[in-house]
Amino acid sequence: MLDVLLTNLLSPIVLAFALGILASLARSDLEIPAPLYQALSIYLLLAIGLKGGAALRATPLSEVVGPMLLTFGLGVLTPITSYNVLRKLGKMDRVNAAALAAHFGSVSAVTFIAAQAFGTLTGFESEGYMPALVAILEIPAIVVALMIANVRGAMGEEATWQSALHEVLTGRSIVLLGGGLAMGLLTGPEGLEPVAPFFVEGFKGALVLFLLELGLVTARRLRDLKEAGWFLVAFSIVMPIIHGVGAVWLAGFVGMSIGGAAVLGAMVSSASYIAAPAAVRIALPQASPTIYLTAALGITFPFNLALGIPLYFAAAEYFLG
Amino acid sequence: MLDVLLTNLLSPIVLAFALGILASLARSDLEIPAPLYQALSIYLLLAIGLKGGAALRATPLSEVVGPMLLTFGLGVLTPITSYNVLRKLGKMDRVNAAALAAHFGSVSAVTFIAAQAFGTLTGFESEGYMPALVAILEIPAIVVALMIANVRGAMGEEATWQSALHEVLTGRSIVLLGGGLAMGLLTGPEGLEPVAPFFVEGFKGALVLFLLELGLVTARRLRDLKEAGWFLVAFSIVMPIIHGVGAVWLAGFVGMSIGGAAVLGAMVSSASYIAAPAAVRIALPQASPTIYLTAALGITFPFNLALGIPLYFAAAEYFLG
Amino acid sequence: MLDVLLTNLLSPIVLAFALGILASLARSDLEIPAPLYQALSIYLLLAIGLKGGAALRATPLSEVVGPMLLTFGLGVLTPITSYNVLRKLGKMDRVNAAALAAHFGSVSAVTFIAAQAFGTLTGFESEGYMPALVAILEIPAIVVALMIANVRGAMGEEATWQSALHEVLTGRSIVLLGGGLAMGLLTGPEGLEPVAPFFVEGFKGALVLFLLELGLVTARRLRDLKEAGWFLVAFSIVMPIIHGVGAVWLAGFVGMSIGGAAVLGAMVSSASYIAAPAAVRIALPQASPTIYLTAALGITFPFNLALGIPLYFAAAEYFLG
Amino acid sequence: MPKTIPLKLVTVVAEYLLRDKLVKEIGKLGVTGFTVTDAEGQGPRGNRAGVYEGRNVRMECVCSPEAATRVLKHLSDYYFEHYAVIAWVQTVEVVRGDKYV
Amino acid sequence: MPKTIPLKLVTVVAEYLLRDKLVKEIGKLGVTGFTVTDAEGQGPRGNRAGVYEGRNVRMECVCSPEAATRVLKHLSDYYFEHYAVIAWVQTVEVVRGDKYV
Amino acid sequence: MPKTIPLKLVTVVAEYLLRDKLVKEIGKLGVTGFTVTDAEGQGPRGNRAGVYEGRNVRMECVCSPEAATRVLKHLSDYYFEHYAVIAWVQTVEVVRGDKYV
Ligand SMILES: Nc1ncnc2c1ncn2[C@@H]1O[C@H](COP(=O)(O)O)[C@@H](O)[C@H]1O
Ligand SMILES: Nc1ncnc2c1ncn2[C@@H]1O[C@H](COP(=O)(O)O)[C@@H](O)[C@H]1O
Ligand SMILES: Nc1ncnc2c1ncn2[C@@H]1O[C@H](COP(=O)(O)O)[C@@H](O)[C@H]1O
Ligand code: NA
Ligand code: NA
Ligand code: NA
């Protein structure tokens, strides 16, 4: 067990994340140019989609329907649980609770990739169609959370959940991920072959650069941690564990493998820091970015990367092993 | 035949192009950062050159002289045919006709690559020295078209075809393509080996990103289509077919293979949208960019990508098979 | 011998450098976008570090202590020899002499890579831990040179060698190189495997693009060459030879291989053009950038790339063969 | 000297996320064109979303005094409170300025 | 306060393709320096070439009133008709301004 | 029209290397915020370090006249002699300008 933990902590992607944090704390002038960060995120999302789409083509529909419905259901459920815990236990105001709910209901693509890589490393390969689940999980949570905010009358002047839905659906993450899935589905594994050296083999290395940048950004968030208060810190660790372990448990009922269940757990537990912040900033301008970014990027992401992912795999082995 | 067409339409590069168009039509905020686009185009041109140069080294001069002369001749001829068709059949003014002639006489590097890839896929590998022909085809058409414009007194104040020639020769496409060819020639296949994983294996994947961007840009052009008028649309499809099939037929006389002839046909039929627009904009400012960009990028490029390339291969099989 | 020289001159990286120079002299509009240059330099430094760190893990400490101490010693010594030669033979003022000393005492990462690649090509593989020596050599020279300037009272208002030390240690080159080393050490060769296609196989190709840019930049420096004067030109060629051959000779005493000694020679002979210029510009603003950049980038770098590297390998064969 | 006309130059610096929204909205307020550049910055409030906190857009509009007033009012009504925004106005002499009113 | 001199600041936004040409030409019109940034934009005409239609260059020149007039005249004579260009002028106080005339 | 206040806009163009240093220093001179963009340029002196010679930073600060004077003095004292720097000042009307003094 400790061995597995160490393997995870010493993987290049976790180390790159740590290097980014350390460089920022040491006030290094290291910076990833914005176009490089954008290029990496376009590449990573498209690559995930392509691989997932090609795998999806080889999977019988009957096998994926269950996991897809489960994922959709969790995408609707987790923002609601998050919102209620924040309101009732945390006494948080409605707007900020809804904003956080959108983040914790949605999904962090990098957490997904890290979980998948961890599975490969430890011999628990996850299902090839998982990227389709990422796309499914990305959408409902943001809409549900904004609907909650709307019902309660906290919504900004002109924003509605319909326009937020449009924003999310045409946002670059869904377009690239969904577009990649469609491309992979249409072209199939043979069609993918000529582009594999670029999109498949280069993938893990490109991820290292991406995590270096995430480390630099996270470090800036860590400075806001003291303002966050103990409840937010606890919430950003405990809620993901509950969501994640719950998802692992449910995944067993729809026939997912140990690896697949654990990766789904990591996805459900993770908090979005790309699609959700953009949508929430426009639709709920009164919500404090300091709160939701610190929680999603400063606490939940590093926690999952270092400890959460091994935990969800342990849970999957326990429930399904 | 239909099978081949489908294979082409479902290749990752055509799908990426379609994704770009769809994303733009859906008003997605997806954008390829300008430096990424520039990086990809530097990479692609240099890679084509390197591979072509190394192949050229292995080819006896006697084998390439014929194709080279033919290519040069077509580079001189096609702007003249284009100009006359536009003037006489299309009743177009001199300046815009010359501008279009420069575009349709010149070559689109991506069409070349797509044709080459199509050949590989369908078992009609083209000659390794083809990239040298791309460089040869890039130059004369622009100069010829500007000379036509000059002769007719439509040229801008200070611009001359000599300065346009200098502009084209030192323009980044020729420098990278020609420079890559020279590097490949000098270093040879063994010298190229250490850089092959980067320049050869990564090539097709990088092309996917490039076509995503081209799709985004093309979609913007499609909006101008209604202003273009039916003659321009017809010209941008029929003229390339005539040029392309003609080039395929002539290629047989200089000893090119089926694949080589078809790729040459695609090149000759294609319209430049990088070197030509820049040169024309400076030398013929009165010409309307809306006309020449819509024709080259909005009509001819997608047509060739989807249907033209299979057509030129069918023609090559018919003439040379 | 001539054969080896030719192999070097016709390698893709030297040719790319030449292409960059020629493109700039021909006033081509070719330019490498700044973010691409930054991306490449982040990638290259991290890749060197990762590989070196993984190799370091497999090397017994006893084997590397000697080379490390030697490198550190040379990092302290070479700025002092440089400074004295410049002052006494060159009659140069203190500030500019100290500035040049910082550059010639420090190291050019690209020269290191080129030397390593040359060794691989000619069958004289260097030790895997060499990148650690690059990091060691980067630091002392800049600090020593600024201390010399300080002692002599030429230092700018607020700058001190301590702040310069902090600047160098947290500067992006050391953070990436040192960070990469640490990551490589911690994750080891197996950990590195999944990221190898990106960081190891793509390396040489990415270097080609980097050298294209260096060629463009060097050409601008060549224009300042006439202002430089014959002494600076002679210094920038002879001093590196003396430092380099001396280092090769000393490397024999600490048990380095022929390849390792030659690469160390190339490193020691090389002049920094990334870390040193930035540190010197802040700490010694009165020093003329024209002088130190022309020397380091306009003379020493091309000399080493074309002739110096083969020379240090010849010297290593002579001393250690 | 070519004829110039005095017009207003409104400069707005706002968080990047607002870029497309602002472009769309000012178009409806009688502004005939704009120029944008990528920018970074810090301000007295520092309340920002997005992974790239420092990333801003800097937008310039040459327009009539009336359009300038409408733009500033729009920013005040909808953006100043919750978003990172600063705006200032100057008078500039514009060549062929009649095209931009 | 360090001594400042009132000079003209000419700002030109033009399609990117013109960048190097403009730099070369204004150098001959008595302008001693310039600063350029990458920009994007839209204008009332929207007539543009290049794959990146929106890409512009934004150029600033601090110069004497005479040089400013020459620059504006040059733009009017050769560029305004066929290219995407906008230009405006302001008076600014320049530190050590005598260097730039 | 929303209330505006006349303030100073200081624009500084300097070699990129000075970016972080200047940001830190102007913060101590009573400037409450700044906006920076990447720029390139050439000037009468052309004395520059770094591999990217042409690379500059363009910094804008909206501030009180007193802070503007302090910034210009600081630049004159420490940067004008040895570094590539140009600076100019204008008066601008700032929305909710009281936040920036
Ligand atoms: N005094 C200032 N001068 C110039 N730009 C400013 C100033 N204050 C704020 N800004 C810009 O406005 C943005 C938003 O400021 P704030 O709303 O205070 O966070 C900052 O990121 C800066 O780009
Ligand atoms: N009113 C305006 N305010 C600011 N910039 C403008 C304005 N109109 C045009 N521009 C800029 O000038 C460029 C050319 O405009 P146009 O020639 O009308 O296409 C545009 O791309 C904008 O960057
Ligand atoms: N007359 C000018 N107008 C606008 N920017 C200038 C001018 N002169 C110099 N600059 C800018 O200031 C920088 C430094 O100039 P210099 O110190 O003369 O090398 C240049 O790189 C330009 O970006
Ligand atoms: Na989640
Ligand atoms: Na053609
Ligand atoms: Na050295």
- CB-nearest to E49 from B157, B286, B293 is B293
Tell me, what's the pLDDT at B153?
Answer: 46
Those residues whose C-beta lies under 8 Å from the C-beta of residue A209, and which sit 6 or more positions away, are: A16, A32, A36, A40, C42, C43, C46
**Overall average pLDDT of the B37-47 stretch:** 95
- CB-nearest to D2 from E11, E41, E73 is E73
Tell me, what's the pLDDT at B130?
Answer: 96
Residue C53 has pLDDT above 70, yes or no: yes
Residue among E19, E86, E88, E90 to mutate when testing ligand 2 (max atoms within 8 A of CB): E86
Residue C159 has pLDDT above 60, yes or no: no
How far, in Å, CA of E89 to CA of F9, rounded? 16
Contact check, Cβ <8 Å, B183/C23: no
Tell me, what's the pLDDT at C273?
Answer: 83
Per residue in C80-89, pLDDT tens?
Answer: 999 999 999 9
C235 touches F: beta carbon within 8 Å? no
Tell me, what's the pLDDT at C275?
Answer: 83
Instruction: Give the three-class secondary structure for B240.
Output: helix
Residue among E42, E45, E60 to mutate when testing ligand 2 (max atoms within 8 A of CB): E42
F30 CA distance to ligand 1 middle (Å)? 14
In chain E, the percentage of residues whose pLDDT exceeds 70 is 90
Those residues whose C-beta lies under 8 Å from the C-beta of residue B170, and which sit 6 or more positions away, are: C23, C26, C27, C28, C29
Residue B15 has pLDDT above 70, yes or no: yes
Dihedral, CA of residue C247, residue C253, residue C256 and residue C261, to nearest 10:
20
- CB-nearest to B34 from E15, E48, E55 is E55
Q: Which two tokens stand for residue B44?
A: 């692609």
Phi, psi of A81 (to 5 degrees): -60, -45
Q: Are C82 and C271 in contact (CB under 8 A)?
A: no
β pairing state of E34-42 and F34-42: antiparallel
**Overall average pLDDT of the B22-41 stretch:** 93
pLDDT band at residue A167 under the 50/70/90 scheme: confident
B163 CA distance to ligand 3 middle (Å)? 30
Contact check, Cβ <8 Å, C278/F82: no
Tell me, what's the pLDDT at F41?
Answer: 93
Nearest alpha carbon to residue A112 among A184, A19, A203: A203
Contact check, Cβ <8 Å, D78/A157: yes
Regions of chain F with pLDDT less than 70: 1, 46-54
How far, in Å, CA of C131 to CA of C53, rounded? 8
Per residue in B222-234, pLDDT tens?
Answer: 888 887 889 999 9
How far, in Å, CA of A271 to CA of A209, rounded? 21
Q: Which two tokens stand for residue A278?
A: 């953009």
ipTM score for this prediction: 0.94
- CB-nearest to C217 from F47, F51, F82 is F51
Per residue in D43-86, pLDDT tens?
Answer: 887 656 555 556 899 999 999 999 999 999 999 999 998 899 99
Burial B182-204 (b: 16+ CB within 10 A, else e): bbbbbbeeebbebbbbbbbbbbb
Residues of A in contact with B205 (CB under 8 A): 194-199, 202
**Overall average pLDDT of the A12-41 stretch:** 94
How far, in Å, CA of A172 to CA of B30, rounded? 5
DSSP category for residue B298: I
D5 touches E: beta carbon within 8 Å? no
Per residue in E32-74, pLDDT tens?
Answer: 999 999 999 998 876 565 555 568 999 999 999 999 999 999 9
Which one of D29, D86, D89, D90 makes the best mutation probe of the F interface by having the most chain F beta carbons within 10 Å? D86
Tell me, what's the pLDDT at B160?
Answer: 67
Burial of B46 (0-12, 13-18, 19+ CB in 10 A): buried
Tell me, what's the pLDDT at C151?
Answer: 59
Residue minimizing CA distance to atom 16 of ligand 1? D43
Q: In Å, what is the CA distance from B243 to each residue of B117, B132, B236, D53?
A: 21, 19, 11, 53
DSSP category for residue A90: T
Ligand closest to Cα of B74 equals 5
- Summary mean pLDDT of chain B: 92
List all chains that touch chain C, counting a touch as 3 or more CB pairs closer than 8 Å: A, B, F
Q: Select the more confidently predicted residue: A156 or C149.
A: C149
Tell me, what's the pLDDT at D52?
Answer: 57
How far, in Å, CA of B177 to CA of B53, rounded? 10
In chain B, the percentage of residues whose pLDDT exceeds 70 is 96
What's the predicted TM-score (pTM) here? 0.94
pLDDT band at residue B273 under the 50/70/90 scheme: confident
Nearest alpha carbon to residue C293 among F48, A29, F40: F48
Burial of C287 (0-12, 13-18, 19+ CB in 10 A): buried
Interface present between A and E (3 or more CB pairs within 8 Å): no
Residue minimizing CA distance to atom 5 of ligand 2? D34
Q: F36 has which bridge partners? A: D40, F59
Question: Which chain F residue has the Cα nearest residue C292?
Answer: F49
Contact check, Cβ <8 Å, A199/B205: yes
Residue A132 has pLDDT above 70, yes or no: yes
Residues of D in contact with A297 (CB under 8 A): 51
Contact check, Cβ <8 Å, C204/B198: yes
E59 CA distance to ligand 2 middle (Å)? 13
- Summary mean pLDDT of chain C: 92
Helix C130-151 × helix C34-57 angle, to 10°: 110
List all chains that touch chain D, counting a touch as 3 or more CB pairs closer than 8 Å: A, E, F
Phi, psi of A141 (to 5 degrees): -55, -45
Tell me, what's the pLDDT at F50?
Answer: 55
Ligand closest to Cα of C107 equals 6
Tell me, what's the pLDDT at B87?
Answer: 96
Which one of B282, B284, B294 makes the best mutation probe of the E interface by having the most chain E beta carbons within 10 Å? B282
CA of F98, closest CA in chain E: separation in Å?
23
- Among F residues 14-53, those touching chain E with beta carbons less than 8 Å apart: 37-45
Helix (H) or strand (E) holding B236: helix B230-253
Contact check, Cβ <8 Å, C27/B170: yes
Q: Select the more confidently predicted residue: D20 or C244.
A: C244
Nearest alpha carbon to residue C87 among C154, C164, C159, C158: C154
Atom of ligand 1 nearest to the CA of F60: 4
Residue A274 has pLDDT above 90, yes or no: no
**Overall average pLDDT of the C179-197 stretch:** 95
F63 CA distance to ligand 4 middle (Å)? 44
Those residues whose C-beta lies under 8 Å from the C-beta of residue B138, and which sit 6 or more positions away, are: B75, B106, B107, B168, B173, B174, B177, B272, B275
Tell me, what's the pLDDT at F48?
Answer: 61
Atom of ligand 1 nearest to the CA of D47: 19
Residue C182 has pLDDT above 50, yes or no: yes
**Overall average pLDDT of the A145-154 stretch:** 71
- CB-nearest to B35 from C15, C35, C206 is C35
C-alpha angle with apex A181: A179 to A186, nearest 5 degrees? Answer: 95
Residue among E35, E38, E59 to mutate when testing ligand 3 (max atoms within 8 A of CB): E35
Q: Which residue has the tokens 């200070």?
A: B158
The ligand 2 site (C-beta within 6 Å) comprises: D 32-35, 60-63, 100; E 13, 41-47, 56, 84-86
Per residue in B170-187, pLDDT tens?
Answer: 888 899 999 999 999 999
Per residue in D26-48, pLDDT tens?
Answer: 999 999 999 999 999 998 876 56
Q: Are B202 and B6 in contact (CB under 8 A)?
A: no
Per residue in B98-128, pLDDT tens?
Answer: 999 999 999 999 999 999 999 998 999 999 9
Nearest alpha carbon to residue B267 among B97, B170, B123, B141: B141
